[in-house]
């Protein structure tokens, strides 16, 4: 389930974005990946369109790799961390974390290939560019090709890991890889350079992408700040849904897209695929999938029962905040087809 506003979204959200900065600003640090991520567009909107400031939050980005962000979040050096996969593994290994708000409801990666690649099966024997093993920009490519196409890393194709998506585009251009896993905005840039969008993982994997967590200690000590953060993200999601003209410049800036039309295509693809809600079924799948990979990598004892993942959602804070904003439950959007 997800939440939507009950009143005039476009006018209300646009008005919110124009209201001046609140007098008292609470400083917060938000984790940011090294390159732009389609999962995190609501955070970018909240930052660039003044939703954090409207809530009295002085937001600062801290840019690191996904793994480093998780470590910094656990240690308290970052307050809000939008790395759900890494957070789930850390939680299963004993970190006391709480998920406070959602972002994307589908997997937002695409496999972009050399135009000579005509089908997914043509990737057999080829080299693909993924991110770091254990991160979403590795795991979701691996899962889709394995589960839906019977193709396994090592057996059917090889992988080179690149930390940034820009490096994967460069790898395609240089011929080092035949295909790469990229977020939608980067995929659009690669397509503009003549490469082919071969597969969208979102056609196969609904998921809670970009969901934001904090430490349980931070939540206990800063409940009011967390509620302000939730309001900012929820407002940004509604702005993204309703305001293409205001969202496209943010997409261009965050993903280095110079063509306004190209950025508009990205907005068409992603604008209605976000929700501040954390659907229980998708949240459980996040943890189950991570547990299975941990078992495979001998990080979780085979046969050991997993705790109920729902206990790690700050459901009371999230629901309370969204009710105060006038949201109500409705069926969540389905992943787009090609």
Q: Does the structure show a pLDDT above 60 at 338?
A: no
| Domains of the chain, residue spans | 2-106+207-330, 109-204
Q: Is the pLDDT of residue 335 over 70?
A: no
Q: What confidence score (pLDDT) does residue 134 get?
A: 77
Asked if domains 2-106+207-330 and 109-204 share a fold, the reply is yes
Q: Which fold has domain 2-106+207-330?
A: D-Maltodextrin-Binding Protein; domain 2 (3.40.190)
Reply yes or no on whether the pLDDT at 188 is more than 90.
no
Q: Classify residue 78 as left (phi > 0), alpha (psi -120 to 50) or beta.
A: beta
In 3D space, the residue among 322, 269, 252, 242 whose CA is nearest the CA of residue 48 turns out to be 252
Extract the tokens encoding 329: 């439950």
DSSP code per residue over 262-302: HHHHHHHHHTTSB-S---HHHHHHHHHHHHHHHHHTTSS-T
Choose between 170 and 189: higher pLDDT.
Answer: 170
Q: Are 274 and 237 in contact (CB under 8 A)?
A: yes
Q: Which residues pair with 113 in a beta bridge?
A: 179, 196
User: Which residues 6+ apart lie within 8 Å of 158 measured at CB?
Assistant: 126, 127, 128
Position of tokens 């005509």?
A: 118
pLDDT(18) > 70: no
Alpha-carbon separation of residue 18 from 51, 54, 325 (angstroms)? 9, 9, 18
**Per-residue pLDDT for 309 more than 80?**
yes
Q: Look at residue 7 in the predicted model and tell me its pLDDT.
A: 39
CA distance 101 to 83: 12
- Residue 288 — very low, low, confident or very high, per pLDDT cuts 50/70/90? very high
**If you write DSSP's letter for every residue of 23-56 in order, what string do you get?**
SS-EEEEEEE-SS--GGGHHHHHHHHTTHHHHTT
Q: What is the pLDDT of residue 76?
A: 97
| Average pLDDT over every residue of 20-33 | 80
The per-residue pLDDT for 289 is 87
CATH of domain 109-204: 3.40.190.10
Per-residue pLDDT at 294 exceeds 80: yes
């Amino acid at each position: 389930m997800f939440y939507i506003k009950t009143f005039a979204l476009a006018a209300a959200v646009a008005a919110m974005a124009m209201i001046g900065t609140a007098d008292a600003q609470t400083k917060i640090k938000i984790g940011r990946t090294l390159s732009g991520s389609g999962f995190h567009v609501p955070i970018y909107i909240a930052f660039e369109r003044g939703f954090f400031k409207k809530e009295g939050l002085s937001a600062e980005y801290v840019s690191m790799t996904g793994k480093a962000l998780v470590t910094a979040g656990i240690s308290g050096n970052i307050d809000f961390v939008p790395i759900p996969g890494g957070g789930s593994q850390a939680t299963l290994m004993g970190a006391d974390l709480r998920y406070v708000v959602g972002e994307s409801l589908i997997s937002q990666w695409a496999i972009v290939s050399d135009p000579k690649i005509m089908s997914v099966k043509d990737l057999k024997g080829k080299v693909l560019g993924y991110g770091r093993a254990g991160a979403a920009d590795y795991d979701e490519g691996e899962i889709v090709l394995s589960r839906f196409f019977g193709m396994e890393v090592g057996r059917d194709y090889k992988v080179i890991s690149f930390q940034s998506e820009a490096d994967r585009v460069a790898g395609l251009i240089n011929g080092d890889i035949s295909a790469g896993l990229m977020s939608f905005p980067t995929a659009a840039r690669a397509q503009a350079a003549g490469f082919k969008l071969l597969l969208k993982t979102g056609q196969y994997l609904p998921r809670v992408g970009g969901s934001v967590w904090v430490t349980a200690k931070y939540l206990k000590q800063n409940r009011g700040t967390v509620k302000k953060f939730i309001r900012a993200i929820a407002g940004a999601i509604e702005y993204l849904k309703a305001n293409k003209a205001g969202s496209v410049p943010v997409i261009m800036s965050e993903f280095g897209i110079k063509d306004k039309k190209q950025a508009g295509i990205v907005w068409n693809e992603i604008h209605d695929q976000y929700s501040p809600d954390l659907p229980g079924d998708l949240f459980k799948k996040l943890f189950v999938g991570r547990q299975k990979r941990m078992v495979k990598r001998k990080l979780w004892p085979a046969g050991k029962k997993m705790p109920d993942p729902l206990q790690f959602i700050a459901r009371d804070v999230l629901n309370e905040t969204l009710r105060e904003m006038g949201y109500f439950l409705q069926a969540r959007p389905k992943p787009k087809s090609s």
